[in-house]
Structure 1
Amino acid sequence: MTSAVGAGVAAEFQELYGAAPEGVWAAPGRVNLIGEYTDFNEGFVLPLALPHTAVAAVSRRDDGVLRLHSRDVPGGPVRLDVAALEPGTGDGWAAYPAGVVWALRAAGHPVGGGADVHLASSVPTGAGLSSSAALEVVTALALGEQYGLGLTRPEIARIAQHAENAFVGVPCGIMDQMASACATEGHALFLDTRDLSYRQVPFDLAAHGLRLLVVDTRVKHALGDGAYAERRAGCEAGARALGVRTLREVGVAHLPESLGRLTDETVRRYVRHVVTDNARVERTIALLDAGDPRAVGPLLVEGHASLRDDLRVSCPELDLAVRAAVEAGALGARMTGGGFGGSVVVLVEDGVADEVARAVGEVFRVAGFAEPRVFPVVPGAGARRLR
């Protein structure tokens, strides 16, 4: 399947640019099992790579021109001058790969010759599944290999994150890019975002008679615009008030004492979420290491309540999907990603997975919401060269 996709994208590249590409690469989206809004607080996260990928056919140029084209967006190639790239010069989808080229040059890497790039992505956009990180990572991987930069996977993730932070203007943490760059098939990625150390955790739910579903609500509320940055600022304010560099340094055992020192109720809620979600990631890892993934279900529900009530990044569609899934027999469910729309992750016994999916669809229909897209996921491979 992957080789066929690579061949198709390569053929489209040749038709578009008049010559075969020098190579074809892929990078996946991700779904985060647990640990939300913790990565920019140097905390713990537990994502896994999706089988859905962004695929890039790429050839180097030597004239300083960057040409970007997407199968998924109408119109011809976007043509940019590599030397003129700076934050604010990109627009729409093209800002993500263009930002990577800018970030590579800003880091001193010799990619000024430019490139021809043709992209195609199966990662759902606006679903909280890191479609943007997939575009960034596949571009960084391809250019890193073509220009012989010798980048490690964490370095690729850092370049991709810098592109999104400084060029696109989204103050995201590094979880999405690390998951896309470093995940391995059949495993979840237990990532410590303080030092980028990670461990591949076996995640074979089928062996336990379980399945992981993603419910894409197909909605994205405008309320989410700027909300991520506001919550990041609130977390940073909490760390300053507590006299620590980041909220990672606040232990859950001392949380009541720490909260008592905070006078701003909003900041107090943000701090409570981050500290308790870090603890939930550690509890989840302990359960997976002990071979008891079923017991993770209640932690997902607990995590969703924290995102809904303390961080306040949920929305009616996400809350309904979680409630309907659990009432239909799921072991647990929670929103995943930045919130205000996007997706829910559901842990379910294999025998009732179809029933849970139908139940979620039915309650959405009754509520008058858009029909959700429900699909099973298994941990996919991280970024790699296809041909």
Structure 2
Amino acid sequence: MKKTNEIKEALKKGDYKDLLTDIYVDESRIEYQTERYIKAIEKFEKLYGEGDAAIYSAPGRSEVGGNHTDHQHGEILAASINLDAIAVTRKTDDNMIHLISGTYKEIVIDVNDISYKESEKETTKALIKGVLKGAKDHGFDIGGFTAYVTSDVLIGAGLSSSAAFETVVGTIISHLYNDGKMDAVTIAIIGQYAENVYFGKPCGLMDQMACSVGSLVHVDFAKPKEPVVEKVEFDMNKYGYSLCITDTKGSHADLTADYAAVPQEMKEVAAYFGKEVLREVSMDDIIENISKLREKCGDRAVLRAIHFINENKRVGKQAEALKSEKIDEFLTLIKESGDSSYKYLQNVYTVNDIRHQNVSLALAISDTVLEGGKGVCRVHGGGFAGTIQAFVKNEAVPEYLEKMDKVFGKGACNVLKIRKYGGMKVID
């Protein structure tokens, strides 16, 4: 294991330039990443002293296909991105964890006491304890360490900053105490357990899976406890496209009912057929029973069911297009996904506030700027407020960035690349 001063000097000399370029893809960001790593090490040294250390990383993620499909046991396609959480870490032998994340206070955990506590719900401490308990329940060893964690995964932009954190903690445990033998899928499942049980957020598995596995990941949740996971290797940069995420700055306040209504209405349609989720319902079922469904569940529920059935089929087609390197077909499917979310799923604005339609406006501006084959766009994640996603030709990125920032404020649009690595040890 290298010393902190050795790693800093190597970073300053550019010894890790090729490694960082391989991880973060965008050469224009390597200077930023180098400085970021150096500052993280310096912070760690101030907190825990100079000496042996390793650096771990886990990326954020972007949903690519499968808008509101996972909760109906459907399929999703998601991508790891070149924003991540990094952790400068040192193993200890006292069974104590001392961790500071960003500018927050130090978290101290006794590994001998990782029981759930209601008072810790919705805290970072709960996430760490949940990962430890999940790892232990899966038969892995756990132990103490010191760590300084810093993340540039945008909070509140639908890029899964919490899943990146869970993944980096799981990756640390894997390498420090299990010789790196905790596979990516298991780390993702443990992360979901931590978020569901200890943190108290009923999320699906998509976020953790994309952060942990890396590149693009195609997941089929037909059997939620045994998801079928396929890593899809595809170099988007090779084809001259960037992934742009725009935070439309819409308020998420009072949207709980809007979010909850999506799975609720889908399940109402499924229940009409005696099923738990829409994965078990076909389009023929919908068409043959449309009159009674409209009467019993309402038109919006029927439209949302139609979205799910078509979107679920679309995910597999997207994955196949990428594997066959048919970029134009893939982009056409992305556009179809966005249109379906807008027209049928109807998660681009809340009906309780028609005056503010940030996501709809972002999509309209994007369609205008990207016309003529410059790219495609879609709503990203849960919808209603929040973010949109666009695949933009590299030469059109400056114009797109300028226009989106003009509407939603400087820094609203972030130009990303798809990274091929999930949770990983970067430097040891």
What is aligned with 2:81? 50
Alignment of 1:218-237 (within 5 A): 218-225=249-256, 227-237=258-268
Alignment of 1:1-387 (within 5 A): 2=20, 4=34, 5-6=36-37, 8-18=39-49, 20=51, 22-71=53-102, 73-74=103-104, 76-82=105-111, 83=113, 85-86=115-116, 88=118, 89-107=120-138, 109-111=140-142, 113-148=143-178, 150-184=181-215, 188-194=216-222, 195-225=226-256, 227-252=258-283, 254-257=285-288, 262=293, 263-265=296-298, 267-315=301-349, 316-328=357-369, 329=371, 330-362=374-406, 364=407, 369-371=408-410, 373-380=412-419, 381-387=421-427
Residue 241 of structure 1 and its aligned partner are, at CA, apart by 3.3
Q: For 1:201, give the aligned amino acid.
A: V
**Superposition TM-score, scaled by structure 1 size:** 0.85
1:34 touches 1:45 (CA, 8 Å); kept in 2? Answer: yes
2:40 and 2:208 mapped to 1: Cα distance?
23
2:236 touches 2:418 (CA, 8 Å); kept in 1? Answer: no
SS at match of 2:248: strand
> Structure 1 residues 325 and 238, CA, compared in 2 at 3 Å: closer, same or farther?
same
Q: Once the two structures are superposed, what CA deviation does each residue of 1:247-291 show, in whole Å capped at 9, x if it has no partner?
A: 223344554336556422254344223222112212323433444
Residue 233 of structure 1 and its aligned partner are, at CA, apart by 4.3
2:237 touches 2:417 (CA, 8 Å); kept in 1? Answer: no
Q: Which moved more, 1:123-132 or 1:113-122?
A: 113-122
SS at match of 2:246: strand
Q: For 1:384, give the aligned amino acid.
A: M
Residue 154 of structure 1 and its aligned partner are, at CA, apart by 0.8
What is aligned with 2:6? none
1:44 and 1:252 mapped to 2: Cα distance?
16
2:196 touches 2:203 (CA, 8 Å); kept in 1? Answer: yes
Give unpaired runs (5+ residues) of structure 1: none
Residue 139 of structure 1 and its aligned partner are, at CA, apart by 0.5
2:243 touches 2:418 (CA, 8 Å); kept in 1? Answer: no
1:106 and 1:290 mapped to 2: Cα distance?
39
Q: For 2:364, give the aligned amino acid.
A: R
Residue 124 of structure 1 and its aligned partner are, at CA, apart by 0.8
Q: For 2:418, give the aligned amino acid.
A: P
1:36 and 1:359 mapped to 2: Cα distance?
26
Q: Which moved more, 1:10-19 or 1:375-384?
A: 10-19
2:176 and 2:262 mapped to 1: Cα distance?
38
SS at match of 2:43: helix
2:73 and 2:323 mapped to 1: Cα distance?
23
1:54 touches 1:120 (CA, 8 Å); kept in 2? Answer: yes
2:59 touches 2:84 (CA, 8 Å); kept in 1? Answer: yes
Residue 29 of structure 1 and its aligned partner are, at CA, apart by 0.3
Q: Please give the root-mean-square deviation of Cα atoms over the aligned residues, in Å.
A: 2.9
1:129 touches 1:343 (CA, 8 Å); kept in 2? Answer: no
2:277 and 2:109 mapped to 1: Cα distance?
38
1:87 and 1:319 mapped to 2: Cα distance?
41
Give the % identical residues: 26
> Structure 1 residues 84 and 180, CA, compared in 2 at 3 Å: closer, same or farther?
closer
Residue 87 of structure 1 and its aligned partner are, at CA, apart by 5.0
SS at match of 1:223: coil
1:62 and 1:201 mapped to 2: Cα distance?
39
What is aligned with 2:27? none
Q: For 1:117, give the aligned amino acid.
A: A
> Structure 1 residues 295 and 190, CA, compared in 2 at 3 Å: closer, same or farther?
same
1:101 and 1:258 mapped to 2: Cα distance?
48
Q: For 1:382, give the aligned amino acid.
A: G
> Structure 1 residues 23 and 272, CA, compared in 2 at 3 Å: closer, same or farther?
same
2:114 touches 2:133 (CA, 8 Å); kept in 1? Answer: no
> Structure 1 residues 197 and 61, CA, compared in 2 at 3 Å: closer, same or farther?
same
Would you identify which runs of 4 or more consecutive aligned residues in structure 1 move more than 6 Å?
none
SS at match of 2:68: coil
The structure in which a higher percent of residues are strand is: 1
SS at match of 2:232: strand
1:302 and 1:250 mapped to 2: Cα distance?
21
1:190 and 1:249 mapped to 2: Cα distance?
20
SS at match of 1:222: coil
